[in-house]
Amino acid sequence: VQKDEDFRPNFHFTPEKNWMNDPNGMFFYNGYFHLFFQHYPDDNVWGPMHWGHAISTDMITWKEQPIALEPDEKGYIFSGSAVVDNENTSGFGKDGKVPIVAMFTYHDPKGAEAGEIDHQSQAIAYSLDEGKTWTKYEGNPVIENPGIKDFRDPKVIWDGIHQQWVMVLAADDKSMFYISKNLKDWELASEFGKGLGAHGGVWECPDFFPMYVEDSDEVKWVLIQSLNPGGYNGGSGTQYFIGDFDGKEFTPVDEMQDLGEDHNYWIDFGKDNYAGVTWANIPEENGRKLFIGWMSNWQYAQEVPTETWRSAMTVARELKLEKNDGSYMITSVPARELKNYRSINYKEENVKINGTTKLIDSAKIDLSSAEIRFKISDLKQTDYKFSLSNSQGDELVFGYDHAEKEFYLDRSKAGQTGFSEDFANKISTAPRISDAGDLTGIIILDKTSVELFFDDGKTVMTEIFFPNYPWEQLSVSAENGEFTLDQIDAYQLKFK
């Protein structure tokens, strides 16, 4: 029976030791992708928050670094972001060194315990050595609490369109936008989101940025807005809004003006992708929007059956903004850098599926480190179902239900589930958003996670699981009738 280190992912980032939640302060600089994260270095459950730190040259394999920010007398270091202040607008730069400026929430635990409403405020820190060491600004906090209990998770971007810094933070049931010229003095510009979209829980960890609509010169602004609980399949989840920004106010596109509780604008429909945000300072022309999320859910994150460390990040993803028949949507696919780790390839074409067919066993491809792509073009009314199984009788199932036009993912028999009632009490579902006749999928498998990207990332589902033994077999079945698997393309992913 597997436990603890057996469950440590092969390639998804995990802290060497103890607790991790949200990704924080991601920026790219001088050849390195930086990832900071909510971290409690002294225990494997949530506690006094620090910013842990890891670096990578490709967002796929990571090297953990010393802790970047520690709590102090003003409080714990909650989630936030970082920007590269290339023009030294903050004045923190010295001797030509470019300052990296982080903005985070101070959470005063004493105030919180005493029931004071104003225990969260926004603060900054800067680094002159590319994120290794940080100095907290003596003028902190830079934004005092205005009398809102949940007031946190500032995400800053350089808004090149309006030549200003823009920051969005989450404030209970809305997002608040602030603008600044120097990262120190902030002015409230507007608020957004009360009564719009999903509000099953507190809004947290927003992100806000402009994007080109694919294959056009049109620019729209995207607000990513996590909430907990209230996610599509329960617990924590991440929805988004698309609209226009005039430098002060965000206005959603027509089709999102009256968005209700139930909608299909989710970055990921699975249970385990939360608090994700995008990297700052990505260099390329029309820079890619690169995203990473925390691969867990507050419903059970602190109970999952690992001891040494707790929780992982998703694989890094590239977001795109698509417009189809006048409707906007965000798609996401694994960052292309993952392809550099492909080794053995196993491929089949035109496989007739009638009943259950064994596709891949672990002698061919180790299923705890794999990328599998498939295409089905004559799905007609047949439902398909993939199943990962092992000799212990564990089974992870995911498939497509025609009648409902829904994907599903069932981890209820995928090994250890008893640590939390919320872990596997429901089969997760996700709408098929694409109307295309062909159905394509990318399956990214690690020891304890599956990330499903359907229809070029129009529907995404990410979930974790804890099998008693590694998966030994991948099979596919036709649930009623038969179909042809036009293509199945599996790659062993190899890390070192």
List, by residue number, the catalytic residues.
22
Q: What are phi and psi of 421, to 5 degrees?
A: -65, -30
**Which residue do the tokens 């249970």 mark?**
271
Residue of the chain from 9, 22, 198, 451 that contacts ligand FRU (CB under 6 A): 22
Return the SS3 of 175. strand
Residue 37, interface with ligand FRU (CB under 6 A)?
Answer: no
Residue 275, interface with ligand FRU (CB under 6 A)?
Answer: yes
To ligand FRU, the closest distance from the beta carbon of 236 in angstroms equals 7
User: What sign does the dihedral 131-132-137-140 (CA atoms) show?
Assistant: positive
Q: What are phi and psi of 336, to 5 degrees?
A: -65, -20
Q: What are phi and psi of 330, to 5 degrees?
A: -100, 135
Nearer to ligand FRU, 78 or 269 (CB): 78
- Contact (CB, 8 A) for 247 and 265: no
Q: What are phi and psi of 357, to 5 degrees?
A: -120, 130
Residue 153, interface with ligand FRU (CB under 6 A)?
Answer: yes
**Per-residue binder mask for ligand FRU (CB under 6 A), 81-110, x = binder:** ------------------------x-----
Nearer to ligand FRU, 275 or 330 (CB): 275
Footprint on residues 214-243 left by ligand FRU (CB under 6 A): none
Nearer to ligand FRU, 140 or 182 (CB): 140
Buried b / exposed e over 71-103, threshold 16 CB at 10 Å, is beeebbbbbbbbbbbeeebbebbeeeebbbbbb
Nearer to ligand FRU, 78 or 400 (CB): 78
Nearer to ligand FRU, 123 or 488 (CB): 123
Number of residues that bind ligand FRU (CB under 6 A): 12
To ligand FRU, the closest distance from the beta carbon of 52 in angstroms equals 12
* CA 434 centroid distance within chain: 21
Residue 38, interface with ligand FRU (CB under 6 A)?
Answer: yes
To ligand FRU, the closest distance from the beta carbon of 296 in angstroms equals 9
Closest listed residue to residue 206, CA positions, set 278, 261, 298 = 278
Residue 79, interface with ligand FRU (CB under 6 A)?
Answer: yes
Residue 78, interface with ligand FRU (CB under 6 A)?
Answer: yes
* CA 367 centroid distance within chain: 23
Residue 121, interface with ligand FRU (CB under 6 A)?
Answer: no
- Contact (CB, 8 A) for 249 and 258: no
Nearer to ligand FRU, 171 or 443 (CB): 171
Tell me the Ramachandran region of residue 455: left when phi exceeds 0, alpha when psi lies from -120 to 50, beta otherwise.
Answer: left
Footprint on residues 184-213 left by ligand FRU (CB under 6 A): 204-205
Residue 312, interface with ligand FRU (CB under 6 A)?
Answer: no
User: By the criterion CB under 6 A, which residues form the site for ligand FRU?
Assistant: 21-22, 38, 49, 78-79, 105, 152-153, 204-205, 275
